[in-house]
C-alpha cells in the first residue's frame, strides 16, 4: 500500500510539474464563471438551468475528459520513453502497483478539479436564482431544484394478440410467403397504433400505480408530463384537450381544459389527495378536436413527484461524471501500457469516436445491413455474410458501449429528475468496476510483459 501511494503522489506531482493542473484549473474557472456571464439567459427558470447547469457542467466534463485522456496516455508512455520507468521498475514494487498508482493519482486530480468546478456551478445556480421573478423562482424550486421520481403506466402485453393475429394471417395463401418477422412487426405496430390513438371525441385513460410511494406523495402536488402527436397539423397550432385526474367514485377529482401544442412536452401540476384507496392515480384525456391525437406508449404520459432535495441529488450526478473520468483514465493508461504516447492518444481517441457513432451502428443493426436498404420495404433485399458479420459485430459493440452510455446525469439534473443511489451504484459497477476493470486488466497485463529496456527515447 505504501508503494502504491508513493506512485500516486509522484503522478500528482508530475501533473503539477507539467503545469497541467494550474492551467486546467484556470480554464475550468473561465468556463464555469465567464460562460454564464457572457451568455445571458432569457430570465426563465429553464433558461437559467440551460446556461448555468447544462452548458457549463457539460463543458466541464468535456474539458476534464480530454485532459484526463491526455494525462493518462502521457504520464506512463513518457516515463517509459524517457527511461524514468526503468529506474522505478527495478525497485521492490510490482508493476501492477505502478499502474494502479498512476490511475489513482489521475482520478484524485479529476475529483479535485471536478469538485471545484461543480461547486462553483452549484453556487452560481443558487445566487442567480434569487434574481429571477417570483413565479420563475417557484418553477425552479418545484421542477429543477428538486429530485423527482417518475411513474409511468405499465405498457400492456400485446404479444399474445400479435401471435394470434399472425397465425390467422398465415392461413391466407398470399401472405404465407411473406417474411414472418416483418409480418409480426406490421401486426405489432398496428396494435400499438390502436392503443396510442385517441380519435375525436374519444377518451384515453391511464392507471398509474403509486402504492410503493403512497406515503411520500400523499400531501404533495404531482406533476403530469405529457407529449402527444396529431394526425393533422391544427390550423391554430394547438390542440384542445379535457384533462381529468382522480377516481370519479371518490369525488376527489381535478379537471381542466387546456390548449396545448403537439410534439412537445407539457408539464402541469395537479393537487394532492387524488389517489384511490389502492394507491392508484387515474388520469384521463378527452380529445375535443376534429383530428386524432396520439400518445406514445413509451413517453406519452408520466407523473413526477418529489423524492428529495437538489443538493444531494446534484452530488450523486457529479459522482457519475467522475466515474466516466475514471474510465477514461483507465483507457488512456491501457493504451500507453504498450504503445508510445502519440499512438496511444490516437487509439484512445479512435475508441471515443467509435463510442460517439452508436447512432449509426444502431441504424445498421435495425436495418440488418450496412448497405442501402429497399426504400419500399425498409429492409435489405438479400443479406450477405458481410452484412451478418457487421450486424453481429455492431450488436456486440453496442452492448458494451450501452453499459457506459445508459447514464445521463446532466440531463437528469437539468430536468429535476432523481439520480438515485441505485443509479450511482450501477454506474460505479458498470463503468468503473466492469469496463474500467477490463481496461485495467489489459493494461496491467501488457505493462507487466513489456520489455522496458527496448523502449526508445532519451538516454
pLDDT for the residue 459: 44
pLDDT for the residue 458: 47
Tell me which of 288, 308, 328 is where a domain ends.
Answer: 308
Q: Which residues of the chain have pLDDT under 70?
A: 172-179, 357-359, 361, 364-387, 453-459
Shared domain for 296 and 348, answered yes or no, is no
Q: Give the three-class secondary structure for 284.
A: strand
Shared domain for 250 and 329, answered yes or no, is no
For residue 186, which phi and psi values (nearest 5 degrees)?
Answer: -65, -45
pLDDT for the residue 376: 54
Domain with residue 278: its CATH number is 2.60.120
Task: Assess contact for 447 and 99: CB atoms under 8 A.
Answer: yes
pLDDT for the residue 220: 86
Shared domain for 275 and 351, answered yes or no, is no
| Measured distance CA(32)–CA(389) in Å, rounded | 45
Taking the CB of residue 352, how many other CB atoms lie within 10 A of it?
15
DSSP letter (8 states) at residue 251: T
**Residues in CB range of 72: below 8 A, 6 or more apart:** 102, 103, 106, 328, 329, 330, 331, 332, 333, 336, 348
Shared domain for 162 and 298, answered yes or no, is yes
Which is it for the CA torsion 368, 372, 374, 376, positive or negative? positive
351 domain residue, yes or no: yes
Q: How far is CA 198 from CA 16, 169, 276, 357, 372, in A?
A: 63, 26, 25, 37, 36
Shared domain for 156 and 299, answered yes or no, is yes
Q: How far is CA 18 from the centre of its chain?
A: 34
Shared domain for 315 and 263, answered yes or no, is no
Shared domain for 189 and 302, answered yes or no, is yes
Shared domain for 97 and 124, answered yes or no, is yes
pLDDT for the residue 256: 93
Shared domain for 225 and 293, answered yes or no, is yes
459 domain residue, yes or no: no
pLDDT for the residue 223: 92
Shared domain for 69 and 200, answered yes or no, is no
Shared domain for 174 and 98, answered yes or no, is no
72 domain residue, yes or no: yes
| Measured distance CA(158)–CA(396) in Å, rounded | 28
| Measured distance CA(100)–CA(440) in Å, rounded | 8
Pick from 199, 430, 200, 418: which is nearest to 312 by CA? 418
The whole-model pTM stands at: 0.82
Domains in the chain, number: 2
Tell me which of 279, 308, 337 is where a domain ends.
Answer: 308
Copy the grid coordinates of residue 204.
384515453
Q: Listing from the earlier edge strand, what are the strands of the sheet with 293-294?
A: 197-198, 293-294, 229-230
Shared domain for 188 and 291, answered yes or no, is yes
208 domain residue, yes or no: yes
Residue 268 lies in domain: 152-308
165 domain residue, yes or no: yes
Residue-wise pLDDT for 205-243, tens only, equals 999 998 888 888 878 889 999 999 987 887 788 888 999
Tell me which of 266, 289, 308 is where a domain ends.
Answer: 308
Amino acid at each position: 500500500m505504501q508503494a502504491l501511494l508513493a506512485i500516486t503522489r509522484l503522478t500528482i506531482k508530475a501533473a503539477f510539474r507539467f503545469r497541467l493542473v494550474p492551467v486546467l484549473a484556470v480554464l475550468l474557472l473561465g468556463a464555469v464563471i465567464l460562460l454564464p456571464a457572457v451568455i445571458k439567459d432569457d430570465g426563465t427558470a429553464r433558461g437559467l438551468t440551460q446556461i448555468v447547469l447544462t452548458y457549463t457542467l457539460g463543458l466541464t466534463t468535456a474539458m476534464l475528459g480530454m485532459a484526463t485522456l491526455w494525462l493518462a496516455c502521457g504520464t506512463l508512455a513518457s516515463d517509459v520513453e524517457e527511461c524514468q520507468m526503468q529506474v522505478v521498475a527495478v525497485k521492490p514494487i510490482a508493476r501492477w502497483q505502478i499502474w494502479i498508482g498512476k490511475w489513482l493519482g489521475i482520478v484524485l486530480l479529476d475529483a479535485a478539479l471536478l469538485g471545484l468546478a461543480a461547486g462553483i456551478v452549484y453556487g452560481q445556480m443558487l445566487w442567480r436564482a434569487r434574481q429571477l421573478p417570483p413565479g420563475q423562482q417557484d418553477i425552479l424550486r418545484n421542477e429543477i431544484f428538486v429530485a423527482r421520481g417518475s411513474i409511468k403506466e405499465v405498457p400492456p402485453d400485446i404479444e399474445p394478440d400479435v401471435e394470434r393475429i399472425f397465425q390467422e394471417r398465415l392461413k391466407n395463401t398470399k401472405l404465407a410467403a411473406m417474411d414472418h418477422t416483418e409480418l409480426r412487426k406490421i401486426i405489432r405496430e398496428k396494435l400499438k397504433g390502436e392503443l396510442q390513438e385517441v380519435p375525436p371525441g374519444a377518451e384515453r385513460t391511464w392507471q398509474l400505480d403509486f402504492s410503493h410511494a403512497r406515503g411520500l406523495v400523499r400531501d404533495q402536488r404531482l406533476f403530469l408530463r405529457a407529449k402527444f402527436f396529431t394526425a393533422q397539423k391544427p390550423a391554430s397550432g394547438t390542440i384542445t384537450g379535457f384533462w381529468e385526474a382522480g377516481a370519479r367514485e371518490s369525488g376527489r377529482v381535478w379537471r381542466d381544459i387546456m390548449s396545448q401544442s403537439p410534439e412537445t412536452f407539457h408539464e402541469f401540476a395537479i393537487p394532492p389527495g387524488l389517489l384511490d384507496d389502492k394507491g392508484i392515480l387515474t388520469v384521463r384525456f378527452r380529445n375535443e378536436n376534429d383530428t386524432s391525437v396520439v400518445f406514445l406508449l413509451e413517453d406519452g404520459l408520466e407523473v413526477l413527484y418529489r423524492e428529495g432535495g437538489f443538493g444531494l441529488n446534484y452530488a450523486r450526478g457529479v459522482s457519475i461524471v467522475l466515474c466516466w473520468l475514471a474510465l477514461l483514465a483507465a483507457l488512456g493508461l491501457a493504451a500507453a501500457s504498450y504503445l508510445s504516447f502519440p499512438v496511444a492518444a490516437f487509439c484512445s481517441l479512435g475508441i471515443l469516436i467509435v463510442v460517439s457513432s452508436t447512432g449509426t451502428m444502431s441504424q445498421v443493426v435495425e436495418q440488418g445491413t450496412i448497405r442501402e436498404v429497399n426504400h419500399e420495404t425498409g429492409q435489405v433485399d438479400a443479406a450477405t455474410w458481410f452484412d451478418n458479420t457487421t450486424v453481429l459485430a455492431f450488436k456486440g459493440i453496442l452492448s458494451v458501449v450501452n453499459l457506459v452510455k445508459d447514464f445521463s446525469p446532466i440531463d437528469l439534473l437539468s430536468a429535476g429528475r432523481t439520480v438515485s443511489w441505485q443509479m450511482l451504484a450501477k454506474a460505479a459497477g458498470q463503468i468503473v468496476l466492469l469496463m474500467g476493470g477490463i481496461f485495467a486488466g489489459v493494461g496491467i497485463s501488457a505493462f507487466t510483459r513489456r520489455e522496458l529496456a527496448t523502449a526508445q527515447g532519451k538516454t
